[in-house]
Structure 1
Amino acid sequence: MGGQSYYKVLIICVVALFVSTHAQLELGFYAKSCPKAENIITNFVHDHIHNAPSLAAALLRMHFHDCFVRGCDGSVLLNSTSNEAEKDAPPNLTVRGFDFIDRIKSLVEAECPSVVSCADIIALAARDSIVHTGGPSWKVPTGRRDGVISNKTEATNNIPAPSSNFTTLQTLFANQGLDLNDLVLLSGAHTIGISLCTSFSNRLYNFTGKGDEDPSLDSEYAKNLKTLKCKNINDNTTIVEMDPGSRNTFDLGYYSQVVKRRGLFESDAALLTNSTTKSLVNQFLQGSIQKFYAEFAKSIEKMGQINVKTGTQGEIRKHCAFINS
C-alpha cells in the first residue's frame, strides 16, 4: 500500500508540473497579481500614441516579428551580447518602438516588480495602439513569459522579407501554424505605416539584375515612385506610405492597392499569384470594414499565441533588453 501511495503522489506531482509549465494564456491573467497593469499600459499608449501615430504600425510589426521567432516571448527586445540577437537581424533593423516598450515596462515594474512580462507588454501595447488610432480591437489573453534566447540567424530565417514570393510566405506562415487566410489578413496590416525606399527599390531599378523594373508593379505607380520618392536604388532615407493617402487609417485601402498592382513589396504582389489568396484579397476588399476587423482580430489573436511560454518556462525580465541573469 505504501508503494502504491508513493507512486500516486509521484504521478500527481508530475501532472502538476506538466500543468504548470503548459498553462494556457487567459484574459485578465494579472487581475490579482498586478490589477492595474493593463490600465497602465492602455493609459500610456492613449497619452502618447497621438504624438507619433506611425508608431502604431511599428508596434504591430514588432509584435509580428517577435512571434515569428521562438514564439511571442519578447526575444525581439533583447540586446546583443556575445551572441548576436534578433534585434540586429536585417528584418529588425528598421523595427521601431523599443524605447516606447521600455517606458511602459518601467511604469509597470514600479507598480508590480517582476510580475508582468515584456512579451505581454508588446502584445497589449500593439493592440492598444491600433485601437487608439481608430483601428480594430481584439482579445489579448495574457500570461506569456519572456524568453532568454535571442538569435540573429533565426530572425533572418523566420521573418518574411518584403521580397518574399508566395511559396516562401506560405512556408513561413505554415511554420507558425498560420494558414493562407491568416496570411492575407495579417498582410492587411500594411494598410497603415511606412517603408523606406530600400525595402522595395529593386522593383523599380534592378528587379532581375539587369536594370529592369518589376513587371508585376503598376508601371504608372512605379514611374511616380521613381520621380517623386525613390530617385535612386540606394535611397535609404526617403519614406513612402504603404497605403497612400490613408497611412494612419486602418481600412481596406491596402487590398485596393494590391488589386491595382500598387502594393509596395513583392510580398504584397505575391498575394495575387495564388488563386486562394487572390480570392481572399477580393473578398475582403468587397466586404465591409466590420467584417475585415472581425476576421483580422481572429488572426492576430491566433498569432499572439504562437509558441508562448507560460507557467515556469522562461522568466519575467526586469529590463526588457536584458535577461535577468
Structure 2
Amino acid sequence: MAFSLLTFVMAFLSLSAASYAQLSSTFYNSSCPNALSTIQTAVRSAVNNESRMGASLLRLHFHDCFVNGCDGSLLLDDNATFTGEKTARPNNNSVRGFEVVDNIKSQLESLCPGVVSCADILAVAARDSVVVLGGPTWTVLLGRRDSTTASLSTANSDIPAPSLSLSGLITSFSNKGLSSSEMVALSGSHTIGQARCTTFRTHIYNETNIDSTYATSLKSNCPFSGGDNNLSPLDVTSPTVFDNAYYKNLVNKKGLLHSDQELFNGGSTDSQVTGYTSSSSTFPTDFAKAMVKMGNISPLTGSSGQVRTNCRKVN
C-alpha cells in the first residue's frame, strides 16, 4: 500500500512538473503577438473605471487555481452536465469581473480566433491588475488550456475560508504545493479589495484579537443581523493601492477577516508579517514569486483541455 501510494505521488509530481515545463512566457509571440497588450489595455481601462475591479480580477485567478488547478473552470456557467463553481460558498454573490473577462476574450477572438485560453487570460489579468494599482510585475508563464468541466464540491472544499485558523490556512495552501511563507505573501492580496459583512461579522462581534475602535467602526456597516452583502475594505488604510499596509494593519490588530488576523496572532507567521511592515520591497518581491508559483498549479497543457471560444461554456 505504501509503495503504491508513493508511486502515485511521484507520478503526480512528475506530471505536474512536465505540465509546468510546457508553459512559456513567449507562448503567444507568434500565434497572437498582440495578446498581452490587448489584455493589459482592457484591464487598465476596467480598473481605472472602478479600482475594486483590480482586486476582483486577481481573486478570479486565485479562486480558479485552487480548484483543480489554473484551468479556467471558475468561468464556466452551469449546464446540463455539471453545476459550475460560481455558486460555491466562497464564490456565490462574491466573485465578479466576468464581464471584463468576456470583453477581453471577445477582443482576442477577433485578433486570433481559438488561440488564447481563458485560463491564461485570468493569469495575465491578475498580474496587470496588480500593476495598475501600484504593485509589482512578474513574468507570466503561458500555454494553459481550459478545462471542459468544473467542480462545485472542490470549490467548496479547497478555497480557503475566512474562518480558517492559521494551521488550517497552512494546510490549505500546502495542499496546493505552496509553503506557509508563500501563503503569507499571497494573503497580501488583501491590501486591495473589499469583503462582505457576512465574512467578517463573527470576527468583529465575537473575537478579541481586534482593535476595539476598529471593530466599532465596522459595526455601523455590518449589523449583528442583516446587511450580509454590505462591503468594507480589506485594508482600512489604503484599500485601492497595492502596498504593505495590510501587514501594518495586522500588527495593529486591524485585520478585517478572522483568517487575516490569524497571520499575526502569536503564531509561526508573526515574524514574517513584521518583516513585511519594515520593508517596502520585500513583500512585493515575495508576492510576485508566489504568484508565479500559484499560477502554475496543475495547468492543462498540450492536448489536455481546449481553448474555449466563449469562456462561459465548453466548445
Structure 1 position 80, deviation (Å): 1.1
How do residues 1-325 of structure 1 correspond to structure 2 at under 5 angstroms?
A: 24-82=22-80, 83-93=82-92, 94-205=94-205, 213-226=206-219, 228-273=220-265, 275-287=267-279, 289-324=280-315
Q: Are the aligned partners of 2:73 and 2:146 in contact in 1 as well (CA < 8 Å)?
A: yes
How far apart in 2 are the matches of 1:44 and 1:160? 29
Q: Are the aligned partners of 2:20 and 2:299 in contact in 1 as well (CA < 8 Å)?
A: no
How far apart in 2 are the matches of 1:136 and 1:309? 26
Q: Are the aligned partners of 1:255 and 1:284 in contact in 2 as well (CA < 8 Å)?
A: yes
Structure 2 runs not aligned, ≥5 long:
1-16
| Structure 2 counterpart SS, 1:195 | strand
Q: Are the aligned partners of 2:221 and 2:227 in contact in 1 as well (CA < 8 Å)?
A: no
Structure 1 position 194, deviation (Å): 0.7
Structure 1 position 22, deviation (Å): 7.2
Moved over 4 A (4+): 19-23
Q: Are the aligned partners of 2:57 and 2:125 in contact in 1 as well (CA < 8 Å)?
A: yes
Deviations 1:178-232 (A, max 9, x none): 0011111011111111111111112233xxxxxxx21122222212211x32133
**Greater Cα offset, 101-110 or 214-223:** 214-223
How far apart in 1 are the matches of 2:268 and 2:66? 23
Structure 1 runs not aligned, ≥5 long:
1-18, 206-212
Q: Are the aligned partners of 2:134 and 2:243 in contact in 1 as well (CA < 8 Å)?
A: no
Larger Rg: 1
Structure-2 change in CA distance of 1:72 and 1:22 (3 Å):
closer
| Structure 2 counterpart SS, 1:160 | coil
How far apart in 2 are the matches of 1:80 and 1:202? 31
Deviations 1:218-254 (A, max 9, x none): 222212211x321333312321111113100111110
How far apart in 1 are the matches of 2:314 and 2:212? 49
| Structure 2 counterpart SS, 1:56 | helix
How far apart in 1 are the matches of 2:105 and 2:127? 16
% identity of equivalent residues: 43
Letter in 2 for 1:77: L
Determine the structure 1 residue equivalent to 2:6.
none
How far apart in 2 are the matches of 1:137 and 1:282? 23
Deviations 1:109-153 (A, max 9, x none): 111111100000011011112112222111101000001120111
Alpha-carbon RMSD? 1.7
Structure-2 change in CA distance of 1:24 and 1:261 (3 Å):
same
Structure 1 position 23, deviation (Å): 5.1
Structure 1 position 274, deviation (Å): 5.7
Q: What is the aligned residue count?
A: 298
Structure-2 change in CA distance of 1:20 and 1:252 (3 Å):
closer
Letter in 2 for 1:127: R
